[in-house]
Amino acid sequence: MKVGFLNPINRTTGPGNYGYHIVKELIDLNVDVVPITFNNYNYIFDNIENIQIPIPTSNRYIAMMIYPIISNKYLKNNDFDILHSSGTYYLGPDVLTLHEVHKGMIKSRDYWRIKRYLPWESSILYYERRNLNDPDIKKIKCLSIGEKNEIIKYYNVDEEKIAVIPNGVDLNEFRPDPHKRAEIREELGFDNDEMILMFSANEYKRKGLDYIIKSLPDIPNNIKLLVVGKDNPLPYKKLASSLGVTSRVVFSGFVPDIKSYYLASDVFIFPTSYEAFSLATLEAISCGLPILATKVNGTEELIQDWYNGFFIKREKKDIADKINIINQDENLMRSMSLNARKTAKNYSWKNAAEKTLKLYKDILNI
C-alpha cells in the first residue's frame, strides 16, 4: 500500500502536528507513506521519499486560495493507492481529514463578522463545500462526534461516509515531571504557593482570554494566569491594567517547548467558542492538568465534571466559581490531576494511526 499524505507538516500548528505524528506512526506500522508538503514549510522527515509542491508566494492568505489548484495540477498523475489530504489542500482525495468545519466556526460566537466575507475565507468555504459534496471522496475523517454532527448538519453528508478518529498525544513527551516543574517555575518567577492557570492559543479572542482576565479580581491573589501563544497582547494587557491585575497575568508569547509550560502550571483553562478537537487540551491532560473548558467539539468527549476538570461558560462569574472550587480543595485538585493523566492514556497517536490504517484497508478491501 502506497499512501500519499498531503499536509503542511510542522510542529507549530495543530494540523501540522497532526500530520507529523500520523505520518511518523504510519511509518512505524510499515506503511509506505510519501509526505507531500509545500515549499514554504520546512521538511522534517529524513531518508524517505517526499514531494514538495512549489507555491509561488509567501503570502499565507493567497497561498490558502491556490493550494488546492496547484496541488491537483502537480499530483494529477499520482500513483498512490490512497491519497490522504489533511485539510482541504487537494480536490477529491480518497480520504479527507477535516480539522474544522469552517462553516460551523464562522457561526460560532465572537468570530469576526467581516472576516467571513474576505477572499481567503470565501475560498476556504468553497473548497470545504466542494470536497464535502464530492462523491469521489471515499471517507471524510473528522476529529470528534461534534464535528461529525456539523458535517451532517451543514452539508447533509451521509453518516456512513464519516469516520471519527480523535487527535492523539505523545504520552512520553507530555507527562508529569516534578523536577522539571520546579525548575521552570523558578525560571518564570512563580512561588510555590501560587496556583498557575495556563491558557494557550494563537487566537486570543476566539479562545476567550478576556473572560479569564475578567475573572481574576474574583479569585485569590495567589492565582496567576500564564498566557502562551502568538497574538496581539496589547488589548489584554490594557484590560488587565484596568482591572488592577497586571502583575497576575504573564504573557510568554510563542514558546518552542510548550511542554515545560504545562509542567509549570496547575490548571489548563480554555473558554473557547469553537474547536474541532483541541490538541492543547490533550497535551495538558497528558501532563496531569485538570481542564476548565467550554463544552465544544472534543472537550465534550474529554471532560467529566468533578473527575478531570469542569465545563465552564464564557462568563467571568462561572469561570471564577470553578477556579475557586478547585483552589479550595487540595484533594479534589490532586484527584483531578491523576484522572487527567488517566484520561490521556485513551488518546495516543499510535491508536489514531492504527484506526487511520484500518480506514485505508477498508477503502481498498484488504
In a domain, 50, yes or no: yes
284 and 328 together in one domain: yes
Q: Which residues of 154-166 are buried (b: 16+ CB within 10 A; e: fewer)?
A: beebeeeebbbbb
255 and 314 together in one domain: yes
Q: Which residues of 32-42 are buried (b: 16+ CB within 10 A; e: fewer)?
A: ebbbbbbebbe
192 and 283 together in one domain: yes
Q: State how far the alpha carbon of 106 is from the alpha carbons of 109, 123, 279, in Å.
A: 8, 13, 20
In a domain, 243, yes or no: yes
202 and 184 together in one domain: yes
For the domain that residue 42 is a member of, what is the CATH number? Answer: 3.40.50.2000
Q: State how far the alpha carbon of 286 is from the alpha carbons of 44, 147, 236, 308, 330, in Å.
A: 24, 22, 28, 11, 20
23 and 163 together in one domain: yes
92 and 39 together in one domain: yes
Run means of pLDDT, 10 residues per run, the chain, 366 residues: 85 79 94 86 72 83 85 90 93 94 78 60 89 95 95 96 96 93 92 96 93 98 96 97 97 90 97 92 97 96 97 98 97 98 96 97 95
In a domain, 237, yes or no: yes
Specify whether the CB–CB gap between 300 and 308 falls below 8 A. no
337 and 207 together in one domain: yes
pLDDT at site 41:
60
Ranges assigned E (strand) in the chain: 2-6, 32-38, 51-53, 82-86, 95-98, 139-142, 162-164, 195-200, 223-228, 249-253, 267-270, 291-293, 309-311
Show the domain range for 256: 178-344
In a domain, 216, yes or no: yes
In a domain, 198, yes or no: yes
134 and 221 together in one domain: no
In a domain, 173, yes or no: no
Give the angle 33-39-45 at the CA atoms, nearest 5°: 35
Residues 6+ apart with CB under 8 A from 281: 268, 270, 291, 293, 298, 299, 302
106 and 228 together in one domain: no
Number of helices (H) and strands (E), helices first, in the chain?
A: 15, 13
d(CA 22, CA 39): 20
In a domain, 199, yes or no: yes
Amino acid letter, 366: I
The bridge status of strand 82-86 relative to strand 95-98 is parallel
pLDDT at site 213:
98
pTM for this predicted structure: 0.88
What does the H/E/C string look like for 15-79? Answer: HHHHHHHHHHHHHHCCCEEEEEEECCCCCCCCCCCCEEECCCCCCHHHHHHHHHHHHHHHCCCCC
The string of DSSP letters for 325-336 reads: HHHT-HHHHHHH
In a domain, 74, yes or no: yes
23 and 66 together in one domain: yes
pLDDT at site 314:
96
204 and 119 together in one domain: no
d(CA 140, CA 94): 9
Specify whether the CB–CB gap between 243 and 216 falls below 8 A. yes
pLDDT at site 115:
57
d(CA 158, CA 136): 13
202 and 65 together in one domain: no
Domain count within the chain:
2
